[in-house]
Amino acid sequence: MKFDTDRLNNIISNITAKDSFSRSYIIEEGEDEIRTDFIEKLVSGIECESEYPEKRPCGKCGSCRQIAAGTSMDVYHMNMSGKNSYKTEDAVAMLDRLRMGSYGRYVIGIIDDADSLSEIIQNKLLKTLEEPEAGAIIILGSSNKDRLLKTVRSRCTVIRVSDYTIHQEKEILKKENLHEIVEMITGGEIFFYELREKIAKNINTRQDAEELIGLLEDEYRHRMIYGTSREDMADAINTAESALKDIKSGMDYNKALKRLVLEVQ
């Protein structure tokens, strides 16, 4: 699973639009590619010079372009000089750079694969995580934050990327399924078994049922304006409305939906 760029931008904008950043973040995500993408976007969002906070990262300003090209002077990736491990001097070099301050909005130190930081280095970072230099932000990329010291975790804002992806994925999938059900109901052909199965699988709460009926009404209204049989559509809308009323007044939503489907088909 990979991020859709628009959605990723939205998620980052939600974080960066507030313009009050945490001083240190843990970005938790098991898939390296997704984690790297996310961190790059977050960094762009933090550094972005757009005057509209909700548009950050804009992808167009000097900062955004430098970050995309990997040439930003304000973004420091901690070097991994050991074989698959960080050495103390790697951390020292990063902390020195953070202390020098930023050219643009912030100076950002990134430690990807923070899981492989030794306890000694994590302890060395603690003081900075707690009180970073003014204008400095540290981002730790981790596939599992539990591998980091508790003292480190407690000083960082943790963002679990999967909270966003899975949630959004599910929302989109649900919407698609609801639209398919509407198409089946309004499609003219009757496939009652499939319809019943699809409803049973996708409508699990009263809210789901209400959302479905809302979409169905939208479709009928659309047909009423652009289609041919105005009267049929008006009847169908009335039937949908009364099903909605039944559900709101406490009728079992499965029962109400079943009746609705039988009446409008």
Per CB under 5 A, residues contacting Zn ion are 48, 50, 58, 61, 64
Secondary structure (3-state) at 108: strand
Q: Which is nearer to Zn ion, 50 or 162 (CB)?
A: 50
> Considering the complex, what minimum distance in angstroms separates the CB of residue 64 from Zn ion?
3
Task: Kindly state the tokens that stand for 157.
Answer: 């804002």
Burial of 105 (0-12, 13-18, 19+ CB in 10 A): middle
Q: Which is nearer to Zn ion, 72 or 239 (CB)?
A: 72
Q: Which is nearer to Zn ion, 50 or 177 (CB)?
A: 50
> Considering the complex, what minimum distance in angstroms separates the CB of residue 10 from Zn ion?
15
> Considering the complex, what minimum distance in angstroms separates the CB of residue 18 from Zn ion?
16
> Considering the complex, what minimum distance in angstroms separates the CB of residue 55 from Zn ion?
8
Q: Which is nearer to Zn ion, 48 or 178 (CB)?
A: 48
Using alpha carbons, select from 46, 58, 57, 49 the residue that is nearest to residue 19. 46
Q: Which is nearer to Zn ion, 102 or 239 (CB)?
A: 102
85: CB partners within 8 A, 6+ apart: 116, 118
Secondary structure (3-state) at 82: coil
Q: Which segments of the chain does DSSP mark as H helices, in order?
A: 5-16, 32-47, 62-69, 88-99, 119-130, 150-153, 161-186, 192-202, 206-226, 230-248, 253-264
Query: Is residue 137 within 8 Å of residue 21, measured between CB atoms?
Result: yes
Query: Is residue 45 within 8 Å of residue 16, measured between CB atoms?
Result: yes
Q: Which is nearer to Zn ion, 13 or 24 (CB)?
A: 13
Query: Is residue 110 within 8 Å of residue 25, measured between CB atoms?
Result: no
